[in-house]
Amino acid sequence: MKITRIEAWPVKMTLAEPYQIAYETVDHAVNVFVRLHTDRGPVGCGCAAPDAQITGETPEDVLRVLDGPFREQMVGSDPLRYARLMDPFRRRDDVGPAARAAVDMALFDILGKVTAMPVWKLMGGFRSRMRTSITIGILEERETVRKARDFVARGFTALKLKGGLDVESDIARVLAVRREVGDKIELRFDANQGYDLDRSLRFVEATRPARLEILEQPTPKGEQELLGRVTRGASIPVMADESLLTLRDAFRLARRDLVDMINIKLMKVGGIAEALQVNAIARAAGFGVMVGCMDETALGIAAGLHFALARPNVMYADLDGHLDLVDDPTHGAVVLRGGTLFPSEGPGLGLTDFPG
């Protein structure tokens, strides 16, 4: 089998409801789609969700490397020789992680289609479904409570609140949501790098009555020692997100025991294969693992879900990035029932094809 052609194109999608986090307001997302065509019929599908703040890439950067280095390396090559194809790109500074993730997905998709199996079963098949949290951006207290109530009514049993701009407002919103939703709903909080040590510990102490499950990335991503000080002083699990971009980052966090948990996003680490290696470090270190996402179409969410379903120690999912995207061309790649995600029944990542 040989790869005969690579297609890549961007799609801009508006968000049904724009949201605010600690460092920006988001009202649209651009994903770059890729198809790997082969001479035996199977077509591999993938997507990139670049983010200049997180992955260091723009859509134009992704298109450039897909049309250049990836095309040169892959056309005429066997798509089943994953390591031979992808390993050179792990060492290239000009190829970002979202671009690698898109091609990684497409290669796993081909493998699944060739074997007539879904990727989550090929990788281990530990579970067949997974509960996901759903995110509430930074809103005033009354609107935060309203959205929490609506999400619970739709069947979600885990909510993630965003904050990091004002610790006192964050505390009030968390406590108000807990009063509204009761004791059976899990609450998580993401400060998106917005706190220092004092505010982090103030937040943890003041929100004790809310029984938060996770405090995600309270401090700036470049200050790992500060993150470790929060972890040592906090009474709830502290999770790294923006501080984890590479396999080396995972090793550093583990070696110095700087966090309790990590958030693995395929777009940050470079795809499924790299996520498996990061997860192995987490497992060895005893870290809890969540699989997260960017503002990704259902195809990107599907890839994260297949990874999470395959590994027993990936206990948490925050895979809601597709839910507000208008006109997602890959909307059938995952199935949401209440607050639980199921993979499509098809082979590979579950899509036979999509418009574009």
CATH architecture of the domain 121-343 equals Alpha-Beta Barrel (3.20)
> What residues are labeled active site?
162, 190, 216, 241, 265
Assign 10 to helix, strand or coil. strand
φ/ψ of 309, rounded to 5, equals -65, -25
How confident is the model over 282-305, as a mean pLDDT? 97
d(CA 264, CA 214): 15
- DSSP code, position 350: S
Q: What are residue 15's phi and psi, to 5 degrees?
A: -95, 135
What is residue 134's three-state secondary structure?
Answer: strand
Q: What is the pLDDT of residue 156?
A: 98
What is the C-alpha separation between 178 and 32, in angstroms, rounded?
38
- From CA 218, how far away is CA 226, in angstroms rounded? 10
Neighbouring residues of 65: CB distance < 8 A, sequence distance ≥ 6: 94, 95, 96, 99
Asked whether the predicted pLDDT for residue 335 surpasses 90, the reply is yes
Out of 20-34, 201-215, 230-244, pick the least confident.
20-34
| pLDDT tens readout for residues 126-164 | 999 999 999 999 999 999 999 999 999 999 999 999 999
Q: What is the pLDDT of residue 16?
A: 87
Q: By the 8 A CB rule, do 272 and 112 touch? A: no
pLDDT of residue 20: 79
Q: Specify the pTM.
A: 0.95
Contact 330, 297 (CB under 8 A): yes
pLDDT tens-digit readout, 10-54: 999 999 888 877 667 788 899 999 999 999 989 999 999 999 989
Mean pLDDT calculated for residue range 79-91:
94
Provide the mean pLDDT of the chain: 96
Can you give the residue ranges of every domain in the chain? Answer: 3-116, 121-343
| Superfamily classification of domain 3-116 | Enolase-like, N-terminal domain (3.30.390.10)
pLDDT surpassing 80 at residue 353? no
Q: How confident is the model at residue 93 (pLDDT cuts 50, 70, 90)?
A: confident
With beta carbons less than 8 A apart as the criterion, state whether 349 and 110 touch: no
What distance in Å separates the CA atoms of residue 274 and residue 253, rounded to the nearest whole number?
A: 16
Q: Check residue 320 and give its pLDDT.
A: 97
Single-letter amino acid code for the residue at 258: L
C-beta separation of 13 from 326 below 8 A: yes
Token readout for 198 is 């004092």
Distance of CA 194 to the CA centre of its chain: 20
Please compute Rg for the chain using Cα positions: 20
Rounded to an integer, what distance in angstroms lies between the CA atom of residue 201 and that of residue 230?
7
Cα 313 from Cα 329, distance rounded (Å): 31
Please choose, from the candidates 150, 127, 147, the residue with its C-alpha nearest in 3D space to the C-alpha of residue 136.
147
- Position 303 pLDDT exceeds 90: yes
- Determine the pLDDT at residue 25: 78
Asked if 320 and 19 count as a contact pair (C-beta separation under 8 A), the reply is no
The residue ranges of DSSP E strands in 60-219, in sequence order, are 130-131, 134-136, 158-162, 186-190, 214-216
* Angle at CA of residue 79, ends 301 and 47, nearest 5°: 25
Percent of the chain with pLDDT over 90: 92
Helix (H) or strand (E) holding 99: helix 97-115
Output the pLDDT for position 354: 79
Tokens of 71: 């095309």
Residue 258 has pLDDT above 80, yes or no: yes
Cα dihedral: 110, 115, 120, 126 (round 10): -160
Average pLDDT over residues 292-305: 97
Among 18-22, 97-101, 206-210, 306-310, name the one with the lowest average pLDDT.
Answer: 18-22
Q: 338-356 b/e with 16+ CB inside 10 Å = b? A: ebebebbebbbbbbeebee
Give dist(CA 130, CA 343) in Å, integer: 9
